[in-house]
Structure 1
Amino acid sequence: MEEYVTIVFRTLFFYVLILVIFRIMGKREIGELSILDLVVFIMIGEMAVVSIDEPKDPLIYTVVPMILLMLIQILLALISLKSKKFRNLIDGQPSIIINRGKIDEKAMRKQRYNFDDLMTQLREKDIRSIADVEFAILESSGSLSVIEKIKNENAESQQGDITIPLILDGNIDEENLLRINKTNLWLRQELKKQGYRDVKKISFCSYENGKFFIDLKDE
């Protein structure tokens, strides 16, 4: 019975302690956490779990490392405020994935970021087409910041289809062709009409509302 009481006490104690530590470290949204933040948060959580699982170990063995991690994190945050080089080293730098409407495949490869990631994050921001994007910036937190192209003030807002990728990294997506009731031959013929004879040179191609959006590799 005593052991159960100890477990309940430790659970409540670490719940309050972790809340206090996180409040002292500062308020940040989950999507804005840096890699360093995540590492510290995970370590603190793991320490609390181990201490709860081992009720015979003194609390001080867990509390001291947790407080130490908090102090280290605060110190690093203060250094980051003073030094941009240190901040870039710890948090990394944003990467421009789409620059003036052009996809930067080199930046994507450097960040190990693929087209599925890009399409998912664009959909989360209610962006229907890559053709509507002027800039897309992959932040150091992993979130995607999007700046849409300026539309003509006289143009009426219309509902269109979502972007359907037909070519990714030079490979034709047969399943998406079936979704729009088109064939591989049709796609190749349409690309030839627009001057694109080699599919392997195309990094991304989508089709919507009767129009293609084509982006060549590393150009």
Structure 2
Amino acid sequence: MENIFFSNWESVLRTFLVGLLAYVALIIMLRISGKRTLSQMKEFDFIVTVALGSTLASVLLSKDVSLADGVVALGILISLQYILAYVSARSNKFSKLISSEPTLIFYRGDFLRTALKKERVTEAEVRSVLRSNGVASIEEVEAVVMESNGQFTVVKEGNLSNEDSPLSNVKRIDN
């Protein structure tokens, strides 16, 4: 119980040095891997983001994990995310396998009840999204889409049947 606030200066120095070096290594690897590594665009991007934080915490706080082990672990996570993103961008089949599709939850004045239920979203949440997007009347809105990252997009103009529409790749679940 005596080590609850302070154990020794060696431990504090180790945490400081490993934290500083691990942070610098992580910044360098993230700059090399690109912007997408920390974005929450898809499920696997979110998983990597959480895993990076957990790995960095382990390197910082566990004396059983060396800096080299931590840098290798961070490198593996970033490399796997890069490979998944690379293959996903080049293969629609692979992209659909690892990611969900955007779902239409409101279209032309109607809440799509089956889609709301499937995505576990309430009508009140959709109305909140509309308000936060400055929508004064439901008639102004063509559609609301739940994106594959869980965020909502309000579309004021668009058409499901038009290939140039922002709604052309959105999954519609009929009521």
**Under TM normalisation by the shorter chain, which class is it?**
0.7 to 0.9
Structure 1 or 2: more helix by fraction: 2
Q: Which runs of 5+ in 2 are unaligned?
A: 1-8, 159-173
Aligned to 1:13: 21
Question: 1:95 pairs with 98, 103, 109, which one?
Answer: 103
Alignment map for 1:1-219 (pairs within 5 Å)? 1-28=9-36, 32-55=40-63, 57-148=65-156
**Does the Cα contact within 8 Å between 1:96 and 1:137 map onto a contact in 2?**
yes
Q: Which amino acid aligns with 1:13?
A: L
**Does the Cα contact within 8 Å between 1:94 and 1:139 map onto a contact in 2?**
yes
Structure 2 distance, partners of 1:65, 1:135, is: 42
User: For the aligned residues, what is the CA RMSD?
Assistant: 2.4
Structure 1 distance, partners of 2:29, 2:116, is: 36
Structure 1 distance, partners of 2:44, 2:103, is: 19
Q: Which amino acid aligns with 2:24?
A: V
Q: Which amino acid aligns with 2:22?
A: F
Q: Which amino acid aligns with 2:77?
A: L
Over 3 Å counting, the alpha-carbon distance change for 1:146 and 1:37 in structure 2 is same
Structure 1 distance, partners of 2:97, 2:51, is: 21
Q: Which runs of 5+ in 1 are unaligned?
A: 151-217
**Does the Cα contact within 8 Å between 2:48 and 2:81 map onto a contact in 1?**
yes
**Does the Cα contact within 8 Å between 1:31 and 1:142 map onto a contact in 2?**
no
**SS of residue matched to 1:4:** helix
TM-score normalised to structure 2 length: 0.75
Structure 2 distance, partners of 1:128, 1:69, is: 44
**SS of residue matched to 2:142:** strand
Alpha-carbon displacement from aligned partner over 1:143-162 (angstroms, at most 9, x marks no partner)? 22212269xxxxxxxxxxxx
TM-score normalised to structure 1 length: 0.62
How far apart are residue 31 of structure 1 and its match? 7.0
Deviation >6 Å, runs of 4+: none
Over 3 Å counting, the alpha-carbon distance change for 1:57 and 1:29 in structure 2 is closer
**SS of residue matched to 2:106:** strand
Q: Which amino acid aligns with 2:67?
A: L
**Does the Cα contact within 8 Å between 2:40 and 2:46 map onto a contact in 1?**
no
Structure 2 distance, partners of 1:129, 1:95, is: 22
Structure 2 distance, partners of 1:29, 1:118, is: 29
Alpha-carbon displacement from aligned partner over 1:114-166 (angstroms, at most 9, x marks no partner)? 2232122222211123232111111111222212269xxxxxxxxxxxxxxxx
How far apart are residue 22 of structure 1 and its match? 2.7
Q: Among the aligned pairs, what percent are the same residue? A: 28
Query: Which segment drifts farther, 91-100 or 26-35?
Result: 26-35
Structure 1 distance, partners of 2:73, 2:39, is: 26
